[in-house]
Structure 1
Amino acid sequence: MGLRKVALAVGSIIVVTASSGCGVVGSVFGNDDDSNGSGKPGDDPGGGFSGDFGVGGLGDLQACATSSARGSLQQVNLIVMFDKSGSMGRFQDNNGVEHDNTAQRWAPVSRGMATFFSDPQSAGLNATLQFFPLGGRNKCSASAYSNPAVNRTALPSSEFGDEISRITPDGDTPTRGALLGAFEIAKNTLGSHPDERAVVVLVTDGQPTACGELQGVYDTAKSGLNGSPSISTYVVGVGPDTGNLDEIARNGGTGKATYVAENSDAEQTSRDLVAQLNKIRGEVMSCSFAIPQPGDGKKLDTNAVNVVLTPTGGQATTLSYSAACQGGQGWHYDNVSSPRTIELCASTCDSVKQDKGAKIAIAFGCATNGKVN
């Protein structure tokens, strides 16, 4: 697929109580294979937005650039926490009689999850899967969830659907413990892959029913957001009993939960879940690029960095720096005083995503096109 939104820098958690990224490509300096040997890149014919960002020409910057590098997207990891509580498979009527609800809730939700994981559109992402509740009397502890059912795996993959098919819904809904475990997995992932981003997905069908007061769940979501790295929490609710999920999402920094209504048409429920997951996937993936170090050991000068876009079959164009993304065009730093990423503005990002053969180069040494400070 074309370039998807890829958010860099800090981690994020998608909590689902319900675009692919691209692999990081090294910079090219000096006599690297993609360089012309002068410290300036040649026209690398390979790459594109399938994961290998070939360096295109530098246009007007060719004369002044001291070094350049490929645009390098940060890898995104989905940390998925999937609710397997008893309510996913059964419910009580007004007379207290239990009924099997597997066909209307657990089955379509499971199919939707498996479809998302195996979708070619998820290519470029990694994912990790865990279920809750787990751990018996230890279910409120992060340690009950920190050993994933499916370890970090590149998408698309059928392994997740295979694992989900082995699960039978049972137990209550210890959301606080599950969130603690999700944060733990995210931090472990970033500890092993510090240049990547962790995005956790928690899938649940209802209200927290264990591990203390609801405020504890809200505080846990906020602790993830305020932690280091900061991990935001997205929430997708499945079914009718989802009244407190908006507050979890708000404390997790994502404003509001999204919902999948239980439908008499189970296949529609499955499709709706996939649509919500795809929506979140698009939100957490932005056109952001890790900033490589300038060549020859030089210190980064934020006023001497340019982003050059070469569309398929077109000429290299130097994009303008725009802190406010005026008109949605151009690029900006994530943090001018201590930048880690270069982020394309929305309209520029959208146009780039449509062009699978486009190339991004980051050039050093020339005065930045546009006012930085």
Structure 2
Amino acid sequence: MENRSTMVALAATGICAIFAACGGADGGSVAGGGTGGVAATGAGAGSGTSSETGSGTSSETGYGPDEPGGTNAGNSTGTGDGAGGDASCAGESSTAEIVPLDLYIMLDASGSMDERLAGGVTKWDAVTEALEAFFTDSQSEGIGVGLQYFPLPDDDVPRSCTTNAQCGDNGPCALRVCRDTFPTRMAEYCATDADCSESDACVDLGVCSRNGDLCADVGATCANRGGTCMRVTRSSCANPDSCVTEDYATPAVSIEPLDAARAEVLVRSIARTDPVGGTPTAGALSGALAQARAHAEANPTHRVVAVLATDGMPTECKPKDADGLAALAAEGVSGTPSISTFVIGVFDGNDDGAQATMDRIAEGGGTESAFFIDTNEDVTQAFLDALSAIRGKSLACEYQVPAPSAGQTLDYDTLNVQHTSPNGGAESTIFYVADEASCDAAAGGWYYDVDPATGGAPTKIVMCPATCTRFQEGGQVQLRVGCKTEIPPVN
């Protein structure tokens, strides 16, 4: 199987890393935190005589406060070709490795996924056809994928009930319903009028004596085919599905790299699943983030993201509101390791503010906005396009810290990221910033996943959002080792 850097094709993107040893008097020394001087002699040395040769001039008084491991103020002038310029750097070259990508997909398998689209297929069929195409796509080969569904049953909920007390937190027992919401699919079960909206009333739920249809006018004649609406005395708990994070954090299919055999396992799992139940979004999202984080902790060199795919607004588990769900997703981003959440929503128009809710969850999860699919379009193609976009967005943002040559160690103060646009032109240097909080909204930048100044060993080079967006457009990315790390110029 090909390695990950060739398995995943970023459009028009070539990626390489150049390991450069700046030659000193001893043929291989690089000045550290002194004056920043690098004497270049021997193979690959430039013809200039300054301590750091390159286009423009530079004056380095030590590492700036944002430099990896640096403590002293610094200033720099020049044309941006890099501290010291390419002329003073030469050495080995090696193909850079994109950080391995793993997806934990939390897939809505609620009863509404069985609704039919205009073409006659169900939403479930359309969505799972797209997933199967993604699993078998050659560009997905080697990407890690895990899968779980929601809702999952709460094993502590009784199979039937006659009182609200029997259901506990999963209640009420579905014996009464808010009159104004019945008989829509958004019907709300209730115990008292206080559970319904201000102008609504909580009424007994009934069943028609002639055909078994549900009704909400107990004692009246049923509108369809006659019969009497008889009060229901035994029902099921209104919220029988699990809200327990650990249930959803346990995958139906564990996260493993995709190949033909793994794709078959995922496809078989989907085939065994039938849509039923409500939409416990909060429990599912919390579980997805927990599993993604656990996997990231076990695989620290990987980028792990959660994908929430749903066709409905939350009906079970708290919080149900957009801000509360966004806060859950934000906890995933702010935690360690940081986990982003992508959202794919499949809706019949903007039901009940669905797009705003999905966008808020995605925003909280650090992915700006949801992929919102209207059921009037080609759902299978749109869903596949969303998955492909998630793959591309994730792969353009993180790179592995290059491994040094045998017998050498990597000086984190001497790595630079450079990019050439897909249209060619001059190579530009991406400035190092201390951390994500230091990213410039327009200029971007890059940082290590672990600040080497703290004594940790970084495993990833992470692009700031603005730089990530630029890299997604393609071009050539280079990692150059051997010249002092470039930081933003002091204003």
- Shorter-chain TM-score: what band? 0.5 to 0.7
Residue 286 of structure 2 is aligned to residue 185 of structure 1: no
Residue 481 of structure 2 aligns with an amino acid whose one-letter code is A
Q: Distance in 2 between matches of 1:346 and 1:208?
A: 31
Out of 83, 94, 98, the residue aligned to residue 108 of structure 2 is: 83
Residue 134 of structure 2 is aligned to residue 116 of structure 1: yes
Q: Distance in 1 between matches of 2:346 and 2:277?
A: 17
Mind listing any 5+ residue stretches in structure 1 that lack a counterpart?
7-18, 31-37, 40-59, 92-98, 354-358
Out of 125, 135, 138, the residue aligned to residue 107 of structure 1 is: 125
Residue 88 of structure 1 aligns with an amino acid whose one-letter code is M
Whether contact under 8 Å (2:416, 2:485) holds in the other structure is yes
Residue 110 of structure 1 aligns with an amino acid whose one-letter code is T
CA separation of 1:360 and 1:149: change in aligned 2, threshold 3 A: same
* TM-score, reference length from structure 2: 0.52
Out of 406, 429, 445, the residue aligned to residue 320 of structure 1 is: 429
Per the alignment, in what secondary structure is the counterpart of residue 475 of structure 2? Answer: helix
Larger Rg: 2
Residue 254 of structure 2 is aligned to residue 142 of structure 1: no
Q: Which residue of 1 aligns with 2:333?
A: 225
* 1:110-167 CA distance string (max 9 Å, x none): 1111111211122342111111111425711111122211112223542322211111
* 1:83-116 CA distance string (max 9 Å, x none): 111111148xxxxxxx9x9823111111111111
Out of 254, 262, 265, the residue aligned to residue 375 of structure 2 is: 262
Percent of aligned positions with the same letter in both sequences? 30
Residue 139 of structure 2 aligns with an amino acid whose one-letter code is Q
* TM-score, reference length from structure 1: 0.67
Q: Distance in 2 between matches of 1:297 and 1:256?
A: 41
Whether contact under 8 Å (2:7, 2:142) holds in the other structure is no
Whether contact under 8 Å (1:146, 1:185) holds in the other structure is yes
Residue 139 of structure 2 is aligned to residue 132 of structure 1: no
Q: Distance in 1 between matches of 2:298 and 2:17?
A: 18
Q: How many residues align?
A: 313
Q: Which residue of 1 aligns with 2:399?
A: 289
Q: Distance in 2 between matches of 1:130 and 1:26?
A: 37
Q: Which residue of 1 aligns with 2:75?
A: none
Residue 292 of structure 1 aligns with an amino acid whose one-letter code is P
Whether contact under 8 Å (2:109, 2:149) holds in the other structure is yes
Residue 134 of structure 1 aligns with an amino acid whose one-letter code is L
Out of 275, 279, 285, the residue aligned to residue 173 of structure 1 is: 279
RCO (CA 8 Å, sep 6+): is it higher in 1 or 2? 1
Q: State the Cα distance separating 1:174 from its structure 2 match.
A: 0.7
Residue 235 of structure 1 aligns with an amino acid whose one-letter code is V
CA separation of 1:367 and 1:183: change in aligned 2, threshold 3 A: closer
CA separation of 1:87 and 1:322: change in aligned 2, threshold 3 A: same
Residue 475 of structure 2 is aligned to residue 352 of structure 1: yes
Q: Distance in 2 between matches of 1:347 and 1:5?
A: 21
Q: State the Cα distance separating 1:75 from its structure 2 match.
A: 0.8
Per the alignment, in what secondary structure is the counterpart of residue 341 of structure 1? Answer: strand
Alignment of 1:264-283 (within 5 A): 268-283=378-393
Q: Distance in 2 between matches of 1:219 and 1:319?
A: 37
CA separation of 1:360 and 1:204: change in aligned 2, threshold 3 A: same
Residue 170 of structure 1 aligns with an amino acid whose one-letter code is V
Per the alignment, in what secondary structure is the counterpart of residue 133 of structure 2? Answer: helix
Q: Distance in 2 between matches of 1:283 and 1:82?
A: 20
Q: Which residue of 2 aligns with 1:34?
A: none
Residue 363 of structure 1 aligns with an amino acid whose one-letter code is V
Whether contact under 8 Å (1:77, 1:125) holds in the other structure is yes
Q: Distance in 1 between matches of 2:388 and 2:419?
A: 27
Q: State the Cα distance separating 1:280 from its structure 2 match.
A: 2.3
Residue 244 of structure 2 aligns with an amino acid whose one-letter code is S
Q: Distance in 2 between matches of 1:145 and 1:26?
A: 39
Whether contact under 8 Å (1:82, 1:130) holds in the other structure is yes
Residue 85 of structure 1 aligns with an amino acid whose one-letter code is S
Whether contact under 8 Å (2:19, 2:91) holds in the other structure is no
Whether contact under 8 Å (1:20, 1:123) holds in the other structure is no
CA separation of 1:346 and 1:182: change in aligned 2, threshold 3 A: closer
Q: State the Cα distance separating 1:3 from its structure 2 match.
A: 6.4
Q: Distance in 1 between matches of 2:336 and 2:366?
A: 14
Q: State the Cα distance separating 1:68 from its structure 2 match.
A: 6.5
